[in-house]
Amino acid sequence: MVREARARVLAGEIGTLLTVDCGYLQDWMLLPTDDDWRATSDEGGPSRAFADIGSHLCDLLEFVAGERIVRLTARTRRAFAERGGHPVQNEDAVAILVETASGAIGTLLVSQMAAGRKNALTLELHGTAESIRFDQERPEELWIGRREGNGQLFRDPQNAHPGVARFSRLPVGHAQGYQDAFNGFVADVYAAIAGEQPDGLPTFDDGVRAAQLTEAVLLAAREERWVEVPAETP
């Protein structure tokens, strides 16, 4: 349904993109006794929550919106100075304000200390014609918001945009989800090896982009200012 959301946005069905409201919330680091190699800067690096899951949220936003984040500012939060007997220097949560290339503005909240949230990855885009929302924990549907009334769009290859139906690999009513996304990715990798050019296949540029955004978030939080993010990878 992420592909369907992207197709609707790129087809202009939501109108001009105005605002975005996104989040990626987990709770596996909620307690002071929760520990992981990512919590040590030597192994996990200077960023944890954003580098680990916030980078995926930004990738999802840019993929569906079809445009880049070009400016951002951020604030980070570290709840505990120590975990597992070692000091913690990277963040548990980060709040980000973003601006896209077209001028849309938005908020992103990323946390690994949101009690009760296991993998709450959500994306909501608001356009001049309609809004669209994807919830990763409800992967079979999209919420469509209109002034005259809201609706739900369920996975159905007969109603999908061209190029999207191929990702519907199970009969309607048989839920597809997280693992199926990886299956589709692997299939596209083999298609690329065979000489095809699958739409939306990740490349090394996407990895570089994640590093760019992570650096920008850390800089914005450290210096408490807006940071420009290059639209193109080096």
From residue 53, alpha-carbon distances to 38, 60, 114, 116, 215 in Å are 12, 11, 13, 17, 14
Q: What mean pLDDT, rounded, does the chain reach? A: 92
Closest to 135 in 3D by CA, of 145, 124, 122, 144:
122
| pLDDT at position 231 over 90 | no
pLDDT above 70 coverage of the chain, percent: 96
Closest to 125 in 3D by CA, of 71, 61, 73, 210:
61
Alpha carbon 12 to its chain centroid, in Å, reads: 21
Residue type (1 letter), 15: G
Q: Is 230 among the domain residues?
A: no
* Residues 124/22, Cβ–Cβ less than 8 Å: yes
Label residue 203 exposed, middle or buried (CB < 10 Å: 0-12, 13-18, 19+): exposed
User: What is the rounded CA–CA span in Å between residue 53 and residue 25?
Assistant: 9
What's the pLDDT tens digit per position in 130-160?
A: 999 999 999 999 999 999 999 998 876 667 7
Q: Is 164 among the domain residues?
A: yes
- Look at residue 9 and give its three-state secondary structure: helix
User: What is the rounded CA–CA span in Å between residue 231 and residue 100?
Assistant: 9
Q: Is 231 among the domain residues?
A: no
* Residues 53/24, Cβ–Cβ less than 8 Å: yes
User: What is the rounded CA–CA span in Å between residue 204 and residue 192?
Assistant: 14
Residue 192: domain span: 2-223
Q: Is 51 among the domain residues?
A: yes
Q: Is 228 among the domain residues?
A: no
Q: Is 159 among the domain residues?
A: yes
* Residues 133/124, Cβ–Cβ less than 8 Å: yes
Closest to 86 in 3D by CA, of 39, 16, 45:
39
Give the total number of structural domains in the chain.
1
Q: Decide: pTM greater than 0.85.
A: yes
| pLDDT at position 90 over 90 | yes
User: What is the rounded CA–CA span in Å between residue 17 and residue 151?
Assistant: 19
Q: Is 110 among the domain residues?
A: yes
The pair of structure tokens assigned to 106 is 């938005």
Q: What is the mean pLDDT of residues 84-100?
A: 95
What's the pLDDT tens digit per position in 10-69?
A: 999 999 999 999 999 999 999 999 999 998 888 889 999 999 999 999 999 999 999 999
Closest to 214 in 3D by CA, of 110, 80, 130:
110
Residue type (1 letter), 108: L
Q: State the CATH number of the domain containing residue 47.
A: 3.30.360.10
Q: Is 175 among the domain residues?
A: yes
